[in-house]
Amino acid sequence: MLAATMGRRPHVLIIPFPAQGHVTPLMKFAYQISDHGIKVTFVNSDFIHEKLVAALPDEDEARSRIGLASIPDGLGPGEDRKDPLKSTDSILRVMSGHLKELIEKVNNSNDNEKITCVIADTTVGWALEVAEKMGIESVAFCPCGPGSLALVFDIPRLIEAGHVNGSLLNEELICLAKDIPAFSSNRLPWGCPSNLTVQEILFRLALQCIPVKNLSNWLLCNSVYELDSSACDLIPNILPIGPLLASNHLGHYTGNLWPEDSTCISWLDKQPAGSVIYVAFGSLAILSQNQFNELALGIELVGRPFLWVVRSDFTNGSAAEYPDGFIERVAEHGKIVSWAPQEKVLAHPSVAYQFHNQSYICDKWKVGLGLNPDENGFISRHEIKKKIEMLVSDDGIKANAEKLKEMARKSVIEGGSSYKNFQTFVEALKQ
């Protein structure tokens, strides 16, 4: 069990992997536990910290409710953090030492506010090792689904059996349990066949997750037990407490690393209910200029209102160039922003569908459709148009999405599985 020192307020240090998809759920989690009177210090790399603080609204409760701290990632100001090999090597090499120094500084500054627990992203298992060596309780947090985590935990057996070594070594599908979709080479959590360097880095990060099973009695997961019970049952100490993004107030800051363009909300207010296609590829996806053009023209061919998030580094790490005349042709029914307040967008009644590069949801939950590339690995505008039109006209997909929505809603209200799991964890923090 976790334990706070007698008479002292629990003080939790939270550290995510330095990427948007890891920072956001842990920031939401930080808000939730702070609601229960727990002091929180949220630690990022210096680079991510600066972006996060710059993106904070001028008057935001994160500045007062959550302590924001940072440690060096080992790279200089001018070094390329988009180089996955250099960035990952540096993180693994230097950040653990800086984290130890930060914890010592905090603990030596105030006896009544010593850190009583470290909660770390599963991909930064080194942070849990630091906590263990310092005699501090540690908790692992998984921002992804339990199916992917179960596969990662099974890597040692798969290597020994000759199934994987970064990539699949044979054509045999990996099946963990009957109700879990089988993993093929292009469905591995670390898989990136088009970029073997990135795949190698992701595999190394997956290997970092394996020791967390033995470093903590708690493994929190941003998922819903009922959504993937078979995978959860493969991980004995897992505690699903999600969906964190939907279980909080929409007014809370969500840990975005880019300033949100809130003008898209007033634009959505003017659109008919269920009419808007929301196009977003997250914080890491990079498209070639040719593929970007096809995506733009495919969206245009559909002819429906759309909200499209286009980061400034979306095409080969630089600003995108739109097809000739595209902006003018879609001006009446399209809205393009550099970053959107995603929760508010997804909760808006005008939004019909998201268009994400996530294929797992196509097999088990049947709430999406995969895009089929041609023989050159290129996805054409016609394929994009075809799949969007199929998606918005498929009543079965709509019904499945509503079922998942209701399942998630029930899990976080009083009496729901995630609600009860979260309450159990908070009480353990306070004991």
For position 359, what pLDDT does the model report? 46
**Mean pLDDT score of the chain:** 84
For position 335, what pLDDT does the model report? 93
Nearest to 302 by CA among 338, 320, 282, 275: 275
Tell me the range of 52-66, 163-177, 258-272, 368-382 where mean pLDDT is highest.
Answer: 368-382
CA–CA gap between residue 124 and residue 130 (Å, rounded):
11
pLDDT confidence bin for 21, thresholds 50/70/90:
confident
Q: Cα(first)–Cα(last) distance of the chain, in Å?
A: 8
Partner residues linked to 43 by β-bridges:
69
Nearest to 379 by CA among 294, 270, 305: 294
Nearest to 145 by CA among 189, 191, 199, 184: 189
Tell me: pLDDT of 303 over 50.
yes
281, 365 Cβ separation under 8 angstroms = no
Q: What is the pTM of this model?
A: 0.83
CA–CA gap between residue 294 and residue 382 (Å, rounded):
8
Tell me: the pLDDT tens digits for 166-219? Answer: 776 777 788 888 888 887 766 777 776 667 777 788 888 888 899 998 888 799
The larger pLDDT score, comparing residue 249 to residue 399, is at: 399
CA–CA gap between residue 181 and residue 184 (Å, rounded):
9
Tell me: the pLDDT tens digits for 102-122? Answer: 999 999 998 888 999 999 999
Tell me: pLDDT of 357 over 50.
no
The DSSP letter of residue 210 is T
Tell me: pLDDT of 101 over 80.
yes
Torsion of CA 337, 341, 344, 346, to 10 degrees: 60
Tell me: the pLDDT tens digits for 244-283? Answer: 864 444 455 556 656 677 888 899 999 998 899 999 887 6
Share of the chain above pLDDT 90, in %: 42
- Stretch 3-25: mean pLDDT, rounded? 81
For position 418, what pLDDT does the model report? 96
Tell me: pLDDT of 355 over 50.
no
CA–CA gap between residue 370 and residue 361 (Å, rounded):
9
Tell me: pLDDT of 347 over 50.
yes
Q: Residues 104-111: contacts with CB within 8 Å, 24+ apart?
A: 106/11, 106/13, 106/41
For position 407, what pLDDT does the model report? 93
| Residue 385 in tokens | 């148009």
For position 246, what pLDDT does the model report? 42
For position 59, what pLDDT does the model report? 59
Tell me: the pLDDT tens digits for 117-161? Answer: 999 999 899 999 999 999 999 999 998 889 889 989 999 998 888
The larger pLDDT score, comparing residue 363 to residue 356, is at: 363
For position 250, what pLDDT does the model report? 44
Tell me: pLDDT of 412 over 60.
yes
For position 82, what pLDDT does the model report? 65
Tell me: pLDDT of 360 over 70.
no
Tell me the range of 74-78, 140-144, 174-178, 419-423 where mean pLDDT is highest.
Answer: 419-423
Nearest to 147 by CA among 188, 200, 91: 188
User: Can you list the domains of the chain with their CATH numbers?
Assistant: 11-254+410-430 (3.40.50.2000), 263-393 (3.40.50.2000)
| Residue 118 in tokens | 């470290």
Tell me: pLDDT of 324 over 70.
yes
Helix pair angle (289-302, 381-393), 10° resolution: 40
pLDDT confidence bin for 16, thresholds 50/70/90:
very high
Tell me: pLDDT of 320 over 60.
yes
- Stretch 346-366: mean pLDDT, rounded? 59
